[in-house]
Amino acid sequence: MWYNTIKKYYDNKHPQYTDENLKTFVVAKMLAEAEYKEITNIIYVIEPTPA
């Protein structure tokens, strides 16, 4: 449902739709990890938080 909207903004280079910011949509379950990869062509990886 959200995929088309998110992809449209990303493809149009909206300043808030960066590779890193799109990860928030995966965390919020608005995008699947596979959809993140389809949009960005980058494998979804969660950066470890510092201890």
pLDDT tens for residues 9-37?
A: 999 999 999 999 999 999 999 999 999 99
To 10 degrees, the CA torsion angle through 33, 9, 5, 47?
A: 20
**pLDDT (0 to 100) of residue 1:** 85
Do residues 3 and 35 touch, judged by C-beta distance below 8 A? yes
pLDDT at 44 over 90: yes
pTM above 0.75, yes or no: yes
pLDDT score of 46: 80
pLDDT confidence bin for 2, thresholds 50/70/90: very high
Mean pLDDT of the chain: 94
